[in-house]
C-alpha cells in the first residue's frame, strides 16, 4: 500500500464517498439555500463557483485534511524557495520568478534570479518596441509585418494560446504565425503568406536541438536566403529564444539576438519567459506585462491564501475527489469565449505532460491509485452540438470546467447574451438532469402514451448530478488570461503534490523521439527492412513501395 492511500484522510474519504455518491445535487441545493455563497470564491473579478459539485462540508474538510497530510504546504514552500523539486532532472522549478512583479529576491543556490529575469524582460521590451514602431526593420528597410514563431510543445502552445486569446489587442498591420509541425505543409502554407523583406522569424527552442523546430528553422533560413542572397541579412530577420547559446551561434544567429531563459523554466511553464516574445510583439510589452501581473497575483494567492479559500488548491482537490474516489477518467474544459478556443489544447499539455506519471517521487511504480486525468475540451457552444451528449447521458462521469467573460470585446446584436445563456444553461442542465417523471409528463403533453411513452421517457430522461465548476470573469484581458493560466498551473501542482509525482519532467516523450531517429536511417534506400517488429517492418516497407 502506498503512503498516500494509507493516510487517514484518504481512508476517511473512501468511507465518505459511500455517503455522498447516492445523493443528488438537486436535493443538496433544495436543502441549502446558502450553497452558492458557501461554495464560491472570488479572486479579483474572477468568480469561481464550485457549488455544483458532489460535495458537502465534510467532503471539503476531508479533502483539506488530505492536502495537509500530503504535505502540500511544505511542497509549495519548496517550489517558491528554489529547491530542486524536479528531482529526476535535478532542477528547481521557478516559473513564478518570471512574473514576480514584487521583485522580491528569489534565490537559487544562493543567487537571486531576479536580475536575470529583469534583464531579459528589458531586452524583450526594447526589441518588441523597436519592431512595433518600425525602428528595427527588414534588410531592405521595410517594416516587419509578419512574425513567424518556429517552436513546438512548450515553445509554441503558450504563446499561440495567448496570442489567440488576445486577438482584440493585436495591431491591425501585424500578422503573427506559429509553425510547429515538421510536416512541410505547415511551414509552406505559412511562407506562402509572407515576404522575405518583411518577415521576422523567432526560433524558439529551449534546447535548440528539437528535430521538428530545427528542421523548420533551417528550411525557413533557406527560403529567406533564396531572396535575400546575403547571410549578413539574417541578423535582421532571425532571432533565437533559447537556453543554448552555443547552438544558437552555430545556427548563425548573433548572440545579440538571442533571448535567454533558464533550465529552471519548464517548457510547458514558459509562457511568461522569453518564449512569450511573440506575445509582446503582437500586443505590446506593456500588455505582456499585464499577463505577468495577473499570473503573479495568483502566485501570491496560491502561496498565501488558507487552503479553504485557495482557488487552485480547491480546483486540485475537487479533481482528486472525482479522479480517485468516483473513478472519473477525464476532465473537460469548456470556454464560452471564442478567443479561448485553444485553451483546452494548451491545458492538455500542461496537465497531461505534468501529471501523466506512473512512478512516485521515491521512484516506486504507483499501483493503488490513479494520477492525471485525460484532459480535453472545446469552445462552447460548438461542443454542445457535438460531444455534450456523452457528458449529459453517457455512462461515464466527466467533471467539467465552464469559463466565460461577462463582456465581449466586440458587439453584434444578441450574440453574446445568447452565448451566455448557454453558459448558464449547460451546467444547470448537467446538475439538474430530467427525471423519468418529468420526461413522462412532457411526453403526455405531446399526446404520447402507452408503451411508446415509457420507451421514449427512458431515452429522454437525464440523470443529472454531473459536476461542474464555473469561472466567470469580467472580460478576457491580458491580466485575466495570466491569472487563469496560473490558476490551472497551480491546480496541476496541487494534484501532483498529493499524488507524490514529479510534475516537471517528461520522460514519456523520449522513447518515440529516439525510435524516430533510428527509423529515419532505415527509411533510406529501397531495401526491405526486417529489424523492427512485424507491424513496424510491414508499415515501413509498404511506405517504401508507395512513396
Alpha-carbon separation of residue 299 from 45, 134, 430, 449, 481 (angstroms): 16, 35, 32, 59, 14
Q: Under the criterion CB under 6 A, does residue 155 sit at the interface with ligand G6Q?
A: yes
- Choice from 99, 206, 236, 466 touching ligand G6Q (CB under 6 A): 206
Q: Which of 385, 411, 445, 521 is catalytic?
A: 385
Q: Which residue is nearest to ligand G6Q (CB)?
A: 153
- Choice from 86, 100, 210, 494 touching ligand G6Q (CB under 6 A): 210
| Contacts (Cβ under 8 Å, ≥6 apart) of 2 | 360, 364, 366, 367, 368, 369, 500
Q: Which of 260, 289, 353, 489 is catalytic?
A: 353
Q: Under the criterion CB under 6 A, does residue 207 sit at the interface with ligand G6Q?
A: yes
Nearest to 187, CA basis, from 219, 157, 233, 160: 219
- Select from 146-154, 282-290, 340-348, 372-380 the region that touches ligand G6Q (CB under 6 A): 146-154
> Cα separation of 369 and 10, whole Å?
11
- The interface mask with ligand G6Q, positions 347-366, x = CB under 6 A, is ------x-------------
- Number of residues located near ligand G6Q, criterion CB under 6 A: 14
Q: Give the cell for residue 123.
A: 531586452
DSSP annotation of 143 reads P
Q: Under the criterion CB under 6 A, does residue 408 sit at the interface with ligand G6Q?
A: no
- Select from 1-9, 152-160, 231-239, 249-257 the region that touches ligand G6Q (CB under 6 A): 152-160
Give min distance, CB of 4 to ligand G6Q, in A: 25
* Residue located via cell numbers 526593420: 137
Q: In b/e form, how buried is each residue of 370-394, taking b as 16+ CB within 10 angstroms?
A: ebbbebbbbbbbebbeebbeebbee
- Choice from 138, 154, 467, 482 touching ligand G6Q (CB under 6 A): 154
Q: Under the criterion CB under 6 A, does residue 506 sit at the interface with ligand G6Q?
A: yes
Alpha-carbon separation of residue 6 from 1, 59, 304, 357, 492 (angstroms): 7, 18, 28, 20, 22
Q: Between 216 and 257, whose beta carbon lies closer to ligand G6Q?
A: 216
DSSP annotation of 415 reads H
Give min distance, CB of 268 to ligand G6Q, in A: 4
Q: Under the criterion CB under 6 A, does residue 289 sit at the interface with ligand G6Q?
A: no
- Choice from 266, 284, 335, 478 touching ligand G6Q (CB under 6 A): 266
> What are the two backbone dihedrals, phi and then psi, of residue 119, each rounded to the nearest 5 degrees?
-65, -45
- Tell me if residue 353 is catalytic: yes
Q: Under the criterion CB under 6 A, does residue 399 sit at the interface with ligand G6Q?
A: no
Q: Between 67 and 503, whose beta carbon lies closer to ligand G6Q?
A: 503
- Choice from 153, 176, 467, 496 touching ligand G6Q (CB under 6 A): 153
- Choice from 205, 324, 477, 483 touching ligand G6Q (CB under 6 A): 205
Nearest to 279, CA basis, from 144, 145, 169: 169
Q: Between 53 and 155, whose beta carbon lies closer to ligand G6Q?
A: 155
> Cα separation of 442 and 431, whole Å?
19
Nearest to 292, CA basis, from 107, 117, 488, 98: 98
Q: Under the criterion CB under 6 A, does residue 268 sit at the interface with ligand G6Q?
A: yes
> What are the two backbone dihedrals, phi and then psi, of residue 107, each rounded to the nearest 5 degrees?
-95, 135
Alpha-carbon separation of residue 465 from 124, 157, 393, 424 (angstroms): 49, 34, 11, 16
Q: Which residues bind ligand G6Q (CB under 6 A)?
A: 152-155, 205-207, 210, 213, 266-268, 353, 506
Catalytic residue positions, numbered: 353, 385, 513
Amino acid at each position: 500500500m502506498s503512503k498516500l492511500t494509507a493516510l487517514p484522510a484518504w481512508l476517511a474519504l473512501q468511507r465518505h464517498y459511500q455517503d455522498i455518491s447516492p445523493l443528488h445535487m438537486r436535493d443538496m441545493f433544495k436543502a441549502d439555500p446558502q450553497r452558492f455563497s458557501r461554495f464560491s470564491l472570488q479572486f479579483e473579478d474572477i468568480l469561481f463557483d464550485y457549488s455544483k459539485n458532489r460535495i458537502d462540508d465534510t467532503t471539503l474538510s476531508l479533502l483539506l485534511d488530505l492536502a495537509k497530510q500530503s504535505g502540500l504546504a511544505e511542497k509549495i514552500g519548496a517550489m517558491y524557495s528554489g529547491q530542486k523539486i524536479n528531482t529526476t532532472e535535478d532542477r528547481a522549478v521557478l516559473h513564478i520568478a518570471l512574473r514576480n512583479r514584487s521583485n522580491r529576491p528569489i534565490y537559487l543556490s544562493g543567487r537571486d534570479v531576479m536580475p536575470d529575469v529583469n534583464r531579459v524582460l528589458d531586452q524583450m521590451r526594447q526589441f518588441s518596441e523597436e519592431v512595433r514602431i518600425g525602428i528595427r526593420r527588414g534588410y531592405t528597410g521595410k517594416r516587419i509585418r509578419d512574425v513567424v514563431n518556429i517552436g513546438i510543445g512548450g515553445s509554441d502552445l503558450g504563446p499561440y494560446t495567448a496570442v489567440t486569446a488576445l486577438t482584440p489587442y493585436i495591431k491591425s498591420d501585424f500578422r503573427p504565425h506559429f509553425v510547429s509541425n515538421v510536416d512541410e505543409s505547415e511551414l509552406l502554407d505559412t511562407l506562402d503568406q509572407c515576404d522575405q523583406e518583411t518577415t521576422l522569424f523567432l526560433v524558439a527552442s529551449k534546447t535548440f536541438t528539437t528535430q521538428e523546430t530545427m528542421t523548420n528553422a533551417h528550411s525557413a533560413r533557406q527560403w529567406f536566403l533564396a531572396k535575400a542572397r546575403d547571410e549578413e541579412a539574417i541578423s535582421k530577420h532571425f532571432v533565437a529564444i533559447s537556453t543554448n547559446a552555443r547552438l544558437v551561434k552555430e545556427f548563425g544567429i548573433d548572440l545579440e539576438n538571442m533571448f535567454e531563459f533558464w533550465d529552471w523554466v519548464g517548457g510547458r511553464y514558459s509562457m511568461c519567459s522569453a518564449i512569450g516574445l511573440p506575445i509582446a510583439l503582437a500586443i505590446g510589452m506593456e500588455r505582456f506585462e499585464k499577463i505577468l501581473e495577473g499570473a503573479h497575483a495568483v502566485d501570491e494567492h496560491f502561496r498565501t491564501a488558507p487552503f479553504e479559500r485557495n482557488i487552485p488548491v480547491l480546483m486540485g482537490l475537487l479533481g482528486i475527489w472525482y479522479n480517485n474516489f468516483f473513478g472519473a477518467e477525464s476532465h473537460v474544459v469548456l470556454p464560452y469565449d471564442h478567443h479561448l478556443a485553444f485553451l483546452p489544447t494548451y491545458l492538455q499539455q500542461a496537465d497531461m505532460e505534468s501529471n501523466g506519471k506512473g512512478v512516485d517521487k521515491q521512484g516506486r511504480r504507483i499501483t493503488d491509485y490513479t494520477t492525471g486525468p485525460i484532459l480535453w475540451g472545446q469552445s462552447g457552444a460548438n461542443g454542445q452540438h457535438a460531444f455534450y451528449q456523452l457528458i449529459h447521458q453517457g455512462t461515464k462521469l466527466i467533471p467539467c470546467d465552464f469559463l466565460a467573460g461577462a463582456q465581449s470585446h466586440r458587439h453584434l446584436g444578441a450574440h453574446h447574451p445568447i452565448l451566455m445563456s448557454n453558459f448558464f444553461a449547460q451546467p444547470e442542465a448537467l446538475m439538474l438532469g430530467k427525471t423519468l417523471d418529468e420526461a413522462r409528463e412532457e411526453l403526455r403533453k405531446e399526446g404520447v402514451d402507452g408503451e411508446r411513452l415509457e420507451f421514449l421517457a427512458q431515452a429522454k430522461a437525464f440523470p443529472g448530478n454531473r459536476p461542474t465548476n464555473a469561472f466567470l470573469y469580467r472580460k478576457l484581458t491580458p491580466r485575466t488570461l495570466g491569472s487563469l493560466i496560473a490558476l490551472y498551473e497551480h491546480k496541476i501542482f496541487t494534484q501532483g503534490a498529493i499524488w507524490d509525482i514529479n510534475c516537471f519532467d517528461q520522460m514519456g516523450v523520449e522513447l518515440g523521439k529516439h525510435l524516430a531517429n533510428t527509423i529515419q536511417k532505415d527509411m533510406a534506400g529501397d531495401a526491405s527492412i526486417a529489424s523492427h517488429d512485424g507491424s513496424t517492418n510491414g508499415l515501413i516497407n509498404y511506405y517504401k513501395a508507395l512513396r
